[in-house]
Structures are given as structure tokens and as C-alpha cells.
Structure 1
Amino acid sequence: MDNWKKTFAIIWSGQFFSTLTSSVVGYAVVFWLSLHTKSATVLAYAMMASLLPQLVLGLFSGVFVDRWNRKLTMILADTFIAVCTAVLGLMFYMGTVDVWQIYILLALRSVGSAFHTPAMQASIPLLAPESELMRISGVNQMIYSVSSITGPAIAALLISLFDMTYVLMLDVIGAAIACISLLFVFIPNPERKEHDEERNILKEVKVGLHAIFSQRGLAWLFLCEVIVMFFIIPVSALFPLFTINYFLGGSYEMSVVEIAWGVGMLIGGALVGIKLMKQFNKVVLIAVTCIIVGLTFLFSGALPPTGFITFAVLTGIGGIAVAIWSSSFTVILQTKIDQAVLGRAFSIYDSLTLAPSIPGLLATGVIAEVIGLNNAFIYSGLIVCIVGAVLFFIPTTMAMGKSTIGVGEKKEI
């Protein structure tokens, strides 16, 4: 464990370039679709294409993450994502790209993420002391945040200056840097237990599910998370359209909103990294930040069409809350679940939280046209606030959160 800081410095260096270039490419695709189609349905389908493979594969990818060499898994996943992006870039270069082809390539990129994300998350507890997990989660959030701040600005600039082909090639370069950095570190794999040698996929999935739902407090927390995501993800797909149609903005305004979100995530990641955060009940942090996110949605929907600046500020506040919320949930999983099944736990978590959002995404066009963009924000925000408040009244979940106070420290607080 003495060299864990050096190991993470190398990993973070590569992941920063990979995350930044992926962010630029992701925003460039969204901006391109927003400006060329101005359709809520197209944006919803694009997000669904990015989520559905992770949802389906997530139930099983963790089984293989726990079986395979985790470093090699991350390298191969990054390489696969880069190849998919290169193919999309070639289509733009040849002028043959259509929206449905973008959906397919986004879905294939998601397949790679279904293996890379749980492999990375499950490797962290094997590389660093338990007392540093919250801090590491904060740094990861900050890396993501910096990418979220600069990504939309760079994307908005590049798509106005260059062909999409050259923009997409940035992701290939970022993936190459990430893969090379991983070659210079050693990532241990957890010891497999004797009964795991049967290698029955369904049984191993069942073990992962049991690791989550055998703990009542964790099971209730998962249920609340699923409900929240059902209302947040479909509405978050409407952010670009909300900016264009409601606030009458363009690519510049879309990038401002995304930058505000990134700045908020950066501040939230920095707050997570301070020692004081170890002294808080992680479930309380999740509940409070859940309510804050709900309020930002609710107030955003209540704004007049002239309230774009306030909308950007509320988006930044939401970014702060989500960074703390996400980090707290990650630490709970990393400390409450056996490392041998942690890959399965994270991939199953991704699937369970994404699954309910798919019907919502399918109905996004109807939501935008029938309910109205601003009302969609108001209703979803109100429900998210209620779910956050309900967490305070679940004794087993609150009790589980108490055990995360001062996690990893020798002295009980």
C-alpha cells in the first residue's frame, strides 16, 4: 500500500486524457444532434443507445470483471471504445453517416463502458487504504468535473471549426494514452473463493445480487436510487433542448450549461476530498444532496424564459450535490461488499439504476410535447425531493450509514 499514491498518479494521468477526450466527443455528438435535428426524441434515443447495453450487459459483465485480469479488461475495453469511435469518424469523413448509425456506434461504445467502469471501480479498494476511499472518490469526481467543464467548451469550438471526423479522433488518442498508462502499473486481482471455481454465470450473478440485497439497509438505498434515476435521467436528456427551445439558446448556451455542471462537480469533488467528509454519515449525505438536486430541477422548471443565467447557476449547484451523492454511494459499496464480488456489485448497480429510466427515455418526446419542458423539470424535481426525504425515515439504511462515519480510521467516532 506504500506505493498507492504513485500508482494512482499514473492511472489518473491516463484516465484524465481519456475522460477529457471522451467528454469532448460525447458533447460534440449531442450538440451535433441537437443542432441538426432539434428533436427531443432523437436526443432521448441517443441517450438510450448509450445506456441500454450497459443496462443489459451490466447484469453479467461484472461476473467476467471478477474472473478476468482487471487491468487487461480496462485496456481491452478502452481499445474497443476507441475503435468504435474511429469507425464513426470514418463515416463522417465519407459523408455517409445517418442518425441511426450514430445510435449503433453509441451503443457499441456503451458495451466497452459496461466492462471498463466496474473494472475500474472494483480495482480501487485493492490499490488504496480504506481510509482513503472517500478522498480517491473525490479526486475521480474532480477529473470527471474538469472534463465536464472543458469538454463542452472545446466541443462547441471544434464542431464550429472542424469536420466531426477530426473531433472524433481525439477520443482515439485519449484511449491510447489511457491504455499506455495502465501498462506501467500493477493492479492486483482479488482471491477467488473455492466455491467460485464452478464458474456458473447465473450463480455468480446471484451471488452479486445477494451481496446487495441481503443487507436490508443497502437494499432500501438501492430502491431509492432506482426511483430517483427513473425521474432524473429522462429529464437530463432534455437539458440541451430546454436550453434551445425554452431559453432560446444555441451551442454557446448549451456549452455554458454543461460547463456550469462541470464546475459544480469540480467543487463537489474537492469537498468530498477534505478530511471533514469522513465524519459524516454517508446516507445522510446522499439524502441531503438528493433533496438539493430535486430542488434545482424544480426551481429550473419554474423559471421564466429570461432566466437562463439562473438556470446555469442551479445546474452548477446540482453538480455539487451529485458529486457528493455519487462519491458517498461509491464508498458505501466499496466498504460494505466483499471485494471478490465487487465487480458484480457495481455492474449490477449500473443495470438496476438504469433499467427504469429506459421507459422514461422512450416517453421523452411525449413528455416534452404534452407535459411541457418546464413542467417535466418541476414534477421530476418534486419526486426526487420526496425520495431524499424518505431516506431519513428508513432506520436500517440510516444505521448502515452511521458505520461509514470515519471509515477506515483506527479510532471509532
Structure 2
Amino acid sequence: MSNTDAATSSPPKAPGMRDLLANRNYCYLVFAQFVSDLGDGVYALALLWAMKILTGSGVQMSMVLTAELIPTILIGIFAGVFVDLGKKKAFLLTADICRGVVVAALGFLWYTSQLQPWMLVAAAVLLSSFSAFFTPARMVSLRTLVPAENMMKAQSVSQTIQTVVGLCAPALSAILLAFNVSFSFWFNAASFLLSFLLILFIRHADLNKKKEGKADFTAIKASLKVGFKTVFQTALLRNLILYVVLLNFMFAPVSVLFPLYADTANALASYDIAFFVGILLGSIALGFFSKARKIVPMTVGLLLILGGFFGLVYCNAFALVLACMVLIGLGMPITNGTLMTVFMTAVPQEVLGRAGSTMNVLSQCAKPISLSMIGSLILLFSVRDLFLYISILGLAVVVLMVLNPTVRKAE
């Protein structure tokens, strides 16, 4: 065989990170994600701090968090239908402008001493409602702009962005809050404006296409049915959704258990930093699993998370606890990024918004139940015992996943 024949028969080189970053439209979208998520991170802390200053009530602060979750469940299932039928770019731009106006208004009301607690709750509902449309629109846009073979690397970038935001947003918000709460709200408004401008530069015909037909009740009902059918008639997704719901149910209380595990505020801050360091490392590591069967990174990620939880049961030394937090953070993006890649490549692009909303609502529904139960369980068991039970139950889910031939063979 000649050298020419050998060169001709050699397999084409798989697209890499350089190819991904050479995609200008993708870069606009990912930079928009960064500035928008950074603003959201600053806003999240400011929202709770503002409620604390206005009321000093933990119940009122819980109401704000609940208000953010309700639209995700109630509106999210319908939002995907409209996203699939409509112009994706228009949804992204509209959501950014509307959210920017809401948080800018909060900043003005606080600055003029007119802000009331109910306004914070109302704003949380409005922002979450617009985000319910923005999230599936961004998901579909990402799938449109990035080829399937490069999706794992794109997810790695997204996970890295979330990690950087997680590290930077609290510190930035603390600086802004030291001057005035309004500055945090206005910073978020500015981030939505910048996100709007970046998305405006995206040039892709498919993001501006609107499908034929009207979004009347019959069409919405039919589209919802398509979304559910896509999830439950696709063998891989039907199997995965059960595991995702179980994992969300088990992991949701962790946000409550971590503060209870820490003895001091400084210790909790150190745990958070170690956790996000782990997420950063995991986001980088995710890209190395692009050629492996998806069960490999899912299993590795979950074992790292569960190993960290198990370590918290018995570790007393501060350095060892930090190491456990790094392990937990390390496993998060490896698991989540892989699950998202499997979903986005398994679902046909034309129904991705509907199926994505269906998956999101189904997985989110487990969180309120789990969080409502943890209050009673804390009275019966110690925090370390609860971490032990989470580890054992999580290991059982991992075993079920590995033994499931449909999940195990996913490419």
C-alpha cells in the first residue's frame, strides 16, 4: 500500500477544542452564558441579603427560594413547546431584556427606599419565569451551533464557566453589597444587557426559523405529548430519567447538610472553596472522557461524589474534610456534563426544547419532596449518619446503572 493510500484510508481527525473555539457563533453564546451566569450569581446573594435586611426572617428567605422554583415546574413544561415552535434567538433576546428590566427596577426601588419584601418574591417569580424559556432556548441553540461529536467538550466548557462563576460571584457580590445592595441588582441588569448584545451577534439561520402552525391549545397539547413520548419512548432516556430523579432526590438535601456539618462560618467558606476547586478540576477532566462510553464518566463521577460523602462520615481532620469536598466537586461536572451530553445527542434537535423541559421538570419535582423530608430526618439522625445513608443509596443507584445494558452501552 502506498503512502497516499494510507493517508486516504486513515480516519478523519476528531474535532478538538480549537475547532470548537473557532466557531464564532458558539463563542458568542458561551460568553453570553458567562456574563449572564456571573450576574445571576451576584443577584442570588443580593436577593437573600436584601430580604434579610428587610425582614430578618428565615421563613421569608425560604419563600424567595420557593418562588424561584415554582415557575420552573409549572411553566417549564410548556416553555419547551413554545421554544421548539418559535424562534430560539428571539426567546433568548426577549428573556434577557425582560430579566434586565426586572432587576434594574429592584435596584431603583432599593436605592429610593421603596422596596418591599413582596416585591422581591414577585421579582423572583418573574425572573424564574423568563428563565424557564431562556434555558431550553439556550440548550437548543447550543445543540444547533455545536456538532454532536464536539458536544462533550462544549459541556466541559459550560461546566468550567459555572465553576468560575461559583468562585467569583460570591466575592464580587460581597464587594458590591458593601457599598449598596442596588449595585448588585444593577450589575445583574448590566450582565443581561451584555448577554443580549452578544446573542444579537449570533448569525445562524436555524435559530431564526419559526415552525409552521399556531401555538393553540391543541398544538401545545400535541407538542407536550411529543416531549413526553420522546423521553419515555427513547430507551436510553427512559432508563436515565429514573436514575436522575433518584440522584436529585438524594443529593438535594446536601445544600442543607453542608452548613450543618460546618462548625464555623469560616469552615463553611473553606468547604465552598474546596468544592468549587473540585468542580473546576472536574470540568477540565470531563474533556478527557470524550471518546469513552458514557457509562465510564458517569460511574467515575458518581463514585467520586459518593466517596466524598462517605469520607465526611469519618473524617475529623480539617484537611481531610477539605479533600472530601474536592472529591465531591470533582465528580459533579463529570457526572452532570456526561448526562447532559447523552441527553442532547439522543434527542432529535427539533424536539429538544420540549424534551429538555420535560426532563428538567421531572428531575426538579424530586427536590421539594426531598428538602421537605430532610427537616424531619435531621431530628432523628446526625448529619454524618445522613451522609452515610446518601452514600449507600447512591452506590446502589450506581450498581443499577452499570447493570443496565441500555445505559452501559450508550456511546
Verify same fold: TM over 0.5. yes
Task: Name the CA distance, whole Å, in 1 between partners of 2:64 and 2:375.
Answer: 12
CA RMSD across the alignment: 3.0
Greater RCO (CA < 8 Å, at least 6 residues apart): 1
State the match for 2:301 in structure 1: 289
> In the TM superposition, what are the counterparts of 1:204-353 in structure 2 within 5 Å?
204-239=223-258, 241-242=259-260, 246-250=261-265, 253-273=267-287, 276-304=288-316, 307-353=317-363
Q: CA deviation at 1:192?
A: 7.6
Structure 1 position 394 matched with structure 2 position 407: no
Q: CA deviation at 1:392?
A: 0.7
SS in 2 for 1:186: coil
State the match for 1:165 in structure 2: 182
Amino acid at match of 1:294: L
Amino acid at match of 2:186: M
Larger CA Rg, structure 1 vs 2: 2
State the match for 2:195 in structure 1: 178
Contact 1:209-1:348 at 8 Å conserved across structures: yes
Q: CA deviation at 1:397?
A: 1.9
Structure 1 position 71 matched with structure 2 position 86: no
5+ long unaligned stretches in structure 1 = 405-413
1:360-383: CA deviation from partner (whole Å, max 9, x where unpaired): 223444344454444443333332
Q: CA deviation at 1:287?
A: 2.9
Q: CA deviation at 1:265?
A: 2.1
Amino acid at match of 2:299: A
Contact 1:70-1:123 at 8 Å conserved across structures: yes
Q: CA deviation at 1:4?
A: 6.1
Instruction: Tell me: CA distance 1:336–1:222, structure 2 relative to 1, closer, same or farther (3 Å).
Output: same
Structure 1 position 362 matched with structure 2 position 369: no
- TM-score by length of structure 2 reads 0.84
Q: 2:221 aligns with which of 202, 207, 211?
A: 202
> In the TM superposition, what are the counterparts of 1:35-74 in structure 2 within 5 Å?
39=58, 45-74=63-92
Amino acid at match of 1:205: L
Contact 1:262-1:319 at 8 Å conserved across structures: yes
Task: Name the CA distance, whole Å, in 1 between partners of 2:107 and 2:158.
Answer: 28
Amino acid at match of 1:330: M
- TM-score by length of structure 1 reads 0.84
Amino acid at match of 2:191: G
Q: 2:137 aligns with which of 119, 123, 130?
A: 119
Which range is displaced more, 91-100 or 259-268? 91-100
> In the TM superposition, what are the counterparts of 1:137-176 in structure 2 within 5 Å?
137-159=155-177, 161-176=178-193
1:299-341: CA deviation from partner (whole Å, max 9, x where unpaired): 335444xx55544432332222111111111111121111000
Q: CA deviation at 1:176?
A: 0.5
5+ long unaligned stretches in structure 2 = 1-18
Task: Name the CA distance, whole Å, in 1 between partners of 2:213 and 2:28.
Answer: 35
Q: CA deviation at 1:121?
A: 1.0
1:158-178: CA deviation from partner (whole Å, max 9, x where unpaired): 33x222221221110111100
Contact 1:134-1:331 at 8 Å conserved across structures: yes
Which range is displaced more, 262-271 or 345-354? 262-271
Indicate the percent of aligned positions where both proteins have the same amino acid. Answer: 25
